[in-house]
A and B are shown apart, each in its own frame.
Chain A
C-alpha cells in the first residue's frame, strides 16, 4: 500500500505534502486494529556489549511490532534488556553496545517508505532526522534528563528548531500550545522557567512536552513514572493516554511495574535475560499467562486482595535457618515481650526554616511534622505511607535521634520501662543506638564500596566494642546465614553483589547489634519485584524468628499493606489516617487516603484505574481537602478522631492558642 508514494515523498516537497496529508487521514480512519501495517517491526534483534568479563548478549532474538495508536508494554526486571532494546531503536547505544543481528523496520506514516534503522549509521543525517522528530523518547529520571542550565522553553523548542527549522517565535508559540496541553497553568512563564524550579511531576510533563512537540509517530517511554509518587504517576499515565488518543502515535512503554502495564498497555512483551518470554495482547497475558517466568512474576507482586496469611512467592525464596535465627536472637539482649509498646511517638512537631526570595528574602517556615502520634508494638510492623515531602524521612530521623523535634516526645521501651529518647545520655544512649537500627532505600550508596562485606558487618560490633575478633567473625558468619548469603561472600566487596543481595547485606548490618526496632526506609523501592518479594518475606520471617519490630516507611501502598499490622498515612507532616491493616485500605475514610488508593495501578484487569477521575490532583494539598478535613495553616489544625475502634482520621479544628502544644525543649 505504500509503494505508490515511496518515490514521491523523496522528490519535490509539494506533492510529498499532499501524500502526507492523505496518508495521515487514512491512518486515523483505520481505527488502529492490529490488522493495519505495523509502524515499527523489530525482527530477531540482537545486541552485544563488550564488558570487562567478555561479550555479553544483552538482547537476543527479540521480535515485536508496534502499531499506530496502540501501546506496547515491555515488562522485565533490571538487566532484562528492555532499555537496551529501546536505545537500539534510536541507535543511542553506548559505545560498548553493538547491534549484531536483526532489523528494525520503521514505516513513517508521513511517507518515505520503510527504513531499516539497523542499517543506518547512528551518526548519519538520516538517523538524526528520525530522532526527536519521528521517534521520541522520555526517560525515568526527569531531573537528570533535563539540563539544569537551560530553560524549559529552550530545551523543549530545540527539537522543533532542529527539525522543522521554524523561527524562535513560532517555536515558542508551539511550545506554549504543548505546555498548555500537558497541563502547565502558565505556559508563557514555563518558557523561562528552569527545570530545578519544578517538582518531579512537572518536570516529567516538561519532558513529555519536549518529546511530543514534533508530533512523533512513536513515543518510547522508559520507566516514565518510576521516580514519581502514585498520584503523580496516575496523572502522567493519564496524560500519555490522552495524548496518544489525540495524535494516534504508537507508544512503547518500558516498565517493571505490572500494575502500570495492566492499566496502559494494549499489547505486552515480557523480557527476561535479553529474550522475549511471552508476547500477546493484554487480556491474554494477564488472564492466561503461559510462561512460568511471567506466572512467577505475577505471584511476586503484592496486591490488596491478599489474605491475612497469604505469602508472596518470590522467584528465589530465602529460607531462614532455624539454628542461625536462634543464635542471632540470643546475642546480647532479651527480646521485648510481644504486644508491649516499644516506640511511642507523642505530639512530635518539627518546623524547618528555608531561606527564600533571593538574597534578602524573608525566611519561610515549613512544618515538616505537625503533632505526630505513633505507637509501635513489639513484634509488629507499623507501616508509614506518604508521598515525597510528606515528612516520612524527618520522622525517622527524629526517632533515630538524628534530629531534635521542636516539641513532643519519643519514648523507647526495651522491656525495662519507657524512657524519653531525647533525655538519654552516656551508656543509655549507646544502648538506644544499638536497639534501633536502619535499613536504607538505596542498596548501592548505603554500602561503602571500599569495605569488604566482613568489614561492613563487623563495623557495628567494633564500634560498640562487642566480642573478640573471633567472636565477631562467628557473628558475621551467623548474620550472613541469617539473610541467606554464602559464607564466601565475606571477603568480597559490595559491587560484586546484585541489588537484592546488597539489600540483604544492609539488613544483616542492621541485625548485627541485635536491635529491637528496625526502621526500614523504602527498603525495596530500588529493587525488582521478584527481589522485592524475597526481601519482604525475609523481613517477615526474621520478625517471626527474632521478634523484631519494624517501622516500615514506603510510598508503595500494596507493599505496606503486605507488611504492616497498623498503617498510618502521612501528608505534609500530618498523619491523616491511621488504622489496622485490615480496615485502612478496605474502608478508607480520609479523602487523601482515598485519592492515594484510587491512584495505585493494580495488576488486575478487573480493577483498572479510572483515568477520567484523576484530573486536577490537588489532593496532596491539605488546603484543598473538602470540609471537615480542610487544613489551612494558621487557621485550622488536625485532630485525630476515632471513627471506629483503632481507626482514626484527622479532622480540622480551629486553631486556638491554648490548645497549641507548648514547646517542650528548644531545638538543639
Chain B
C-alpha cells in the first residue's frame, strides 16, 4: 500500500521532471540562431534557386517553424494546435526529420532497440567483470593479483575507447579476418530475424560491448574495491567471522551488500552516460545506434530528431532513477523503514 502510493507520487514527479527537461531541451536546441530550414533557404537563395527556396519556405510554415519559440515547443509536445492540429510527442507523433526527409520514428526506430540492446549488454558486462575482480582485489589487498587488477584498471581508465575500437578493428581483421564493424553481417541486413542473424548480432556485439564497457569496468573495479575495503574493516564483518561463517558467504552476505548501495543508486545515471559516451565508438565501429544520429541532428539543427533523442535519453534516466530507488528500498531496510518509530 505504502509502496504503491510511493510509486504513484514518484510517477507524478517524474512526469513534471520530464516536462521541465523537454522545455530545457527545446530551448537549448533553439538557442543557435535560425533552424534547419532557414539555413537551407539562405543557402538555396545564395545559389539562386528561388523555386527550391520557395518550397523550403512552404515547409517552414508546414512545420510551424515560423511561429514563436514557445508555440513551437507546445506544438512539439502536442499541447498546442499546430498546422496539423494536436499532433506531438503526447499523441505519439515524434515529428519530421528534415535531414533524412523522413518521419523521426522511421529514422531512429530501429536504432533505439539496438542502442538499448548494446547498452544493457554493456551494463551487464561491466558488473559481471568488475564485481568478481573487485572482490578478489579487495580481499587480497596488496597482493600481486591486486596490483595486476589495479594496473589493468588504470590502463582501462586511461585508454580512450575509440582508440581501442580502432585497434581492435584493425588487428582482429588482420589476424583473424573478422570484421567487427556494424551490427551484423551485411548479408543479414533487411533479412527477417533468424537464429543465424541473431548469432551474427551476438558476435558483432562482443567487440563494442568490450570497448564501450572497458573504462566503466575499470572505474567500477576501483570504486568497488575501495568500498569493500572500507566495509571489510567494519565490526559486523568480524562478527560474521566470529560466528564461524565461511569467508566467501560472509563476504557476500555482509560487506558486499553494504558496498553495493552506491552502485545501485548509480543505475539511473549509467544509461545516458553510456549513450552519450559511446558516440565515438559507434562512429568508429559503424554501429547503427542513436549516438551518431544525435550528433548529426544537433549539428544540423534537425530539431525534432535531436529533441526526440534527447527526450528518449531523459526518459531512460528518469525511469532508471525510479528503478534504482525502488531497488535500494528493496535491498536496504534503512531506506524502507527510515521514518519508522523505534
Contact = CB atoms under 8 A, between A and B. Distances in A.
A139 B244 contact: no
B242 A136 contact: yes
Nearest to B142: A95
For A128, A129, A149, which residue has the most chain B Cβ atoms within 10 angstroms?
A149
B288 to A, nearest CB: 43
A358 B335 CA distance: 10
B235 A139 contact: yes
Nearest to A90: B242
Q: Do most interface residues of chain B lie in helix, strand or loop, or is the interface mixed? A: helix
A158 B253 CA distance: 11
A146 B2 CA distance: 27
Contact of A123 (B9, B247, B339): B247
Interface stretch (A190-198, A610-618, A629-637): A190-198
B244 A199 contact: no
Contacts of B235: 139, 141, 144-145
- How extensive is the interface on chain A, given as a class? 35 or more
A358 B340 contact: yes
A601 to B, nearest CB: 24
Contacts of B334: 148-149, 194, 196
A152 to B, nearest CB: 11
Interface string A106-131: 00000000000000000100001111
Nearest to B231: A147
Contacts of B236: 144-147
Contacts of A139: 235, 238-239
Contacts of A146: 236, 239
B246 A92 contact: no
Contact of B242 (A129, A132, A150): A132
A163 B244 CA distance: 8
B342 A198 contact: yes
12 contacts: A141-B235, A144-B234, A147-B240, A147-B257, A149-B254, A158-B240, A158-B245, A163-B244, A194-B334, A356-B340, A359-B339, A360-B5
B258 interface: yes
Contacts of B239: 137, 139, 145-147, 207, 210
A356 B340 CA distance: 6
A198 B243 CA distance: 21
Given A139-B235, A147-B236, A149-B331, A194 B337 contact: yes
A360 B240 CA distance: 36
Interface in B312-342: 331-334, 337, 339-342
Tell me whether chain A's interface is mostly helix, strand or loop, or mixed. Answer: loop
Interface magnitude class on chain B: 20 to 34
Contacts of A133: 244
Which residue, A92, A147, A197, A210, has most C-beta atoms of chain B within 10 A?
A: A147
B144 interface: no
A17 interface: no
B241 interface: yes
Contacts of B234: 144
Interface string B172-216: 000000000000000000000000000000000000000000000
B241 A130 contact: no
Contact of B339 (A147, A162, A198, A358): A358
B341 A357 contact: yes
Contacts of A358: 2, 339-340
Contacts of A137: 239, 242
A101 to B, nearest CB: 24
B341 A364 contact: yes
B339 A361 contact: yes
Interface in B285-324: none
A149 B244 contact: no
A128 B242 contact: no
Closest 10 CB pairs of A and B: A132-B244, A132-B243, A131-B244, A144-B235, A159-B243, A147-B236, A145-B235, A128-B244, A137-B242, A194-B333
A395 B337 CA distance: 29
Contacts of A159: 243-244
Interface in A546-575: none
B244 A130 contact: yes
Contact of A131 (B241, B253, B341): B241
Contacts of B243: 131-132, 158-159, 162, 210
B342 A199 contact: yes
Interface string A150-161: 110000001100
Given A123-B247, A139-B235, A358-B2, A197 B342 contact: yes
Nearest to B245: A162
A143 to B, nearest CB: 9
Interface in B49-87: none
A535 B196 CA distance: 80
Given A146-B236, A150-B254, 9 more contacts: A136-B242, A145-B235, A147-B254, A147-B257, A158-B243, A197-B337, A197-B340, A198-B342, A359-B9
Contact of A357 (B254, B257, B340): B340
A147 B332 CA distance: 11
Interface in B217-255: 234-236, 238-247, 253-254
Contact of B5 (A150, A194, A199, A359): A359
A359 to B, nearest CB: 6
Contacts of A28: none
A7 to B, nearest CB: 25
A207 B239 CA distance: 9
B1 to A, nearest CB: 10
Interface in A458-500: none
A128 B117 CA distance: 45
A355 interface: yes
Contacts of A360: 2, 5
Contacts of B245: 128, 132, 158, 162
Contacts of A197: 337, 340, 342
A217 to B, nearest CB: 14
Interface in A199-214: 199, 207, 210
A128 B258 contact: no
Contacts of A129: 244
Nearest to B236: A147
B262 to A, nearest CB: 14
A364 B342 CA distance: 12
A147 B6 CA distance: 26
A14 to B, nearest CB: 24
A563 B282 CA distance: 74
Interface in B16-71: none
A123 B235 CA distance: 18
Contacts of B253: 147, 150
B231 to A, nearest CB: 10
A137 B236 CA distance: 12
Interface string A602-622: 000000000000000000000
A356 B245 CA distance: 36
Contact of A162 (B244, B257, B342): B244
Contacts of B257: 147, 149
A145 B242 CA distance: 11
Contacts of B333: 148-149, 151, 194, 196
A132 B6 CA distance: 41
